[in-house]
Each structure stands twice: as structure tokens, then as C-alpha cells.
Amino acid sequence: MKVQVCIIGGGPSGLLLSQLLHLQGIDTVVLERQSRDYVLGRIRAGVLEHGFARLMREAQCGDRMDREGEIHNGFEIAHDGVLDRVDLFKHSGGNSVMVYGQTELTRDLYEARDRLGGKIVHNAEDVTLHDLTSDAPFVTWRSGDGIGRVDCDYVIGADGFHGVSRKSIPSAVLREYEKVYPFGWLGVLSRTKPVSGELIYARHERGFALCSMRSHVLSRYYIQVPLSDHVEDWSDDAFWAELKRRLPDEVAARLITGPSIEKSIAPLRSYVAEPMRYGRLFLAGDAAHIVPPTGAKGLNTAASDVYYLHQALVARYKTGDEAALDGYSDRALARVWKAQRFSWWMTTLLHRFPDHIAYDQKLQQTELAYLFSSETAQRLLAENYVGLPF
């Protein structure tokens, strides 16, 4: 097979890029290691920056998101016995976020690709990238008994943190920056009405908690747990009891509990790989960077990579100009690092760290008190939460 752009990974990054390029007449194929059912069975985050929602519309994938997603103009932070609201709309100059699950968004992207006859290969095993520093790279894979091969102009590594693309960059070229947090999030999805119309982030001496949602009948809750905990150790009852302990009494009293329909523990990690380009290979999304989920920036940072990359590829194919491709890594990383900073800041502000001394806890409390006493501080939070421009 011959295409212009071969995309490794059929997650949101790969699918959205494929769709945007297709709409500009650029031919792509997406190689995905898993089956479609498997990809659509993964439960992930659910807050879209307003710029990402715009990009989904531009990609002609925004109809269901606009019908079923919920616009949120603010969220709350529970701390020190109070519940303070961050007015995103007011403090970001009229912007907001869209609450719409990544699973649904991925389903919409697959449907859009199918509608336009997009080429997607599922169950592609042993994907291998070849001749990336030549002007004729190619990719091979195994499926069933056969071997597939695609020749292309460019390879896009959109295959997530555990993918093969980043590993194809020689270690002498790749610089890695990593911070591992000494805790994880235990998440529960339940078919219950969310406890509040807006998200509630809670800083508590027993640890962080988050009340989120996927719709008005589907709730997503999280609590901070030690990395040594196993999901089997947490019964539903134990989860709800611990969540309630970390919420203000009035919120805990109206929390509707129910059986979990998904329960998992995710470790928290910050990671960036530089550069995001090697020869004809360009990385996008989780393949190049990871954030802890506290600021809801993972998926949103993937979106800006895809935006910059699609612009650069369109420029290259429409005018032959490679300047934007050459500038892609620096441009994407500038925004990636800002999302890293914000995610680290929110994580540090709201979690209980095992090595924190009383002094550190006082600083956290002071930071929160300062935040809600200063419109300037709330503006900083709001402009980052709704998403920096791209």
C-alpha cells in the first residue's frame, strides 16, 4: 500500500489527524494494534477545552458532542471545610469547557472516518518503522499470518505512551523528562446522577478526591490512593465511604452511590520526550508526553499537537513548504510544557504527598486561600483550565 501519511495508533490523536488531513485531500492510513471494540472499551478522561471542541467541529465530528456534551462554565474546589467556585466563564473572558467522554469522542471519530471511507487497519501486530531518515520511509506489520507494508512520505507516531514510535528514535537523539508521583487515582464509573452539576476537586488531609461525570446519569469519581493499593482491595462500599470522608459534609450527604461499572487505578506521571520529530517521523499526543490527570490536560494537549501537525502537513502538500514541519517540534513542545506546568501545579496543590511536612501542608492551604482571595490568581487558573490558545 502507498499513502502520503502513515499514522500509527487509532486513539483520538491518530484518528483526528487522519480526519483533518482527509478533509484537505491528504491520503492516510491508520494502523491500530487493538480491535475497535477494545479501543472503545477504554474509559478515559472527559473534559475538553473549548479549542478542542472547535477542532472537533472543524473535523466534522462535533454534532453528537454538541448535542450530548455539557458546557461547564465553572468548577468547585473543596478545601479546609469550604467549597469555593472557580468561575471559568468570567475569569477566562467568556470561555468554558465541554464535558464529553473520550470514549464517546473516539467513537465519533471512528464513525467519521468510516463515513469518508478512511483506511484503518485493526489488530496490526509488531508494527515496525523503517528508513525514517530517508525520504522513502515505510512501515510493516503482521496481521494473522500475513505481513503488511505501507510506503509513505511521513510517519506519525500517535500510538500512546507504550507505543513503538517513540522507541524507534535512537536514544542518543531522544531526551526524556519524567516525574513519577508517589500515588495513584482509584476511579469508579457508576450509573448514578452526579453529586453536583459541576466538577468538584477536593483537597483533604486523607488525600485528594474528584467528583466528575460523563452525563447527567453517569458519574465518574476518583480518590487518591497509595501506589501499593490494588483495585481488588477496594470494594464499592469501601470506595464510597472513603470518597464521602474526603468531601464536605453537605456534598457527602447528597452523594448517590451505586454499583461500579468500571473501577481501576492509574498511577500519576509527568513525562515529555524531546524532540517530537526524528527524520520523517513526527510524534503526537501520549506518544510524546503524559500529564497527571489533575488538570484534565492529557487529551487536550494531544489536540494541539494534532492541530499544529495537520497545519504543517497541509502547508507541505499545498505549497511544498517544509518550514512548518521543521518548526513542529518546537511549536508543539512550547504548549506541551505549559500544560505540564499547569498539571504539576494542580497536582501539587491538591494532593497529599507522603513526604510532606506540616510546613508543606500550610503552603498548600495558603495557596488555596490566596487563589480564592485574588481575581488575578483565579484568572491564571481559568485561562489554563479552559485551554491556552493554539
- Residues lying near ligand PHB in the complex (CB under 6 A): 45-47, 199, 212, 220, 293-296
Q: Which of 22, 297, 310, 351 is catalytic?
A: 297
| Residue 385 known to be catalytic | yes
CA nearest neighbour of 223 among 83, 78, 384: 78
| Residue 193 known to be catalytic | no
Residue 11 binds to ligand APR (criterion: CB under 6 A)? yes
Q: CB of residue 47 vs ligand PHB: minimum separation in angstroms? A: 5
Residues 192-207, buried b or exposed e (16+ Cβ, 10 A)? bbbbbebbbbbbbeeb
Residue 329 binds to ligand APR (criterion: CB under 6 A)? no
Residue 32 binds to ligand APR (criterion: CB under 6 A)? yes
CB of 199 within 8 A of CB of 212? yes
Residues in the chain: 390
For residue 382, CA distances in Å to 134, 341, 344 come to 44, 14, 15
CB of 302 within 8 A of CB of 320? no
**C-alpha 62: how far from chain center:** 18
| Residue 119 known to be catalytic | no
Residue 101 binds to ligand APR (criterion: CB under 6 A)? no
In the complex with ligand PHB, which residue's Cβ is closer, 331 or 351?
351
| Residue 293 known to be catalytic | yes
In the complex with ligand APR, which residue's Cβ is closer, 204 or 289?
289
Residue 188 binds to ligand APR (criterion: CB under 6 A)? no
Q: CB of residue 207 vs ligand APR: minimum separation in angstroms? A: 22
CA nearest neighbour of 202 among 68, 368, 32, 26: 368
Q: Which of 154, 201, 307, 328 is catalytic?
A: 201
Crossing angle between the packed helical segments 12-23 and 298-319, to the nearest 10 degrees: 30
Residue keyed to cell 501506589: 227
In sequence order, the β-bridge partners of residue 157 are: 8, 283
Write the DSSP symbol of residue 249. H
Tell me the three cell numbers of residue 321.
513548504
Residue keyed to cell 472516518: 113
Q: Which of 12, 22, 293, 317 is catalytic?
A: 293
In the complex with ligand APR, which residue's Cβ is closer, 153 or 159?
159
In the complex with ligand APR, which residue's Cβ is closer, 32 or 153?
32
| Residue 271 known to be catalytic | no
- Report which residue's Cβ sits closest to ligand PHB: 212
Measured from the Cβ of residue 369, the count of other Cβ atoms closer than 10 Å reads: 14
The one of ligand APR, ligand PHB, none whose footprint includes residue 33, by CB under 5 to 8 A per kind, is ligand APR
The one of ligand PHB, ligand APR, none whose footprint includes residue 292, by CB under 5 to 8 A per kind, is none
The one of ligand PHB, ligand APR, none whose footprint includes residue 46, by CB under 5 to 8 A per kind, is ligand PHB
Site residues (CB under 6 A) for ligand APR?
8-14, 31-34, 39, 44-45, 124, 127, 158-160, 162-164, 285-286, 298-299, 302
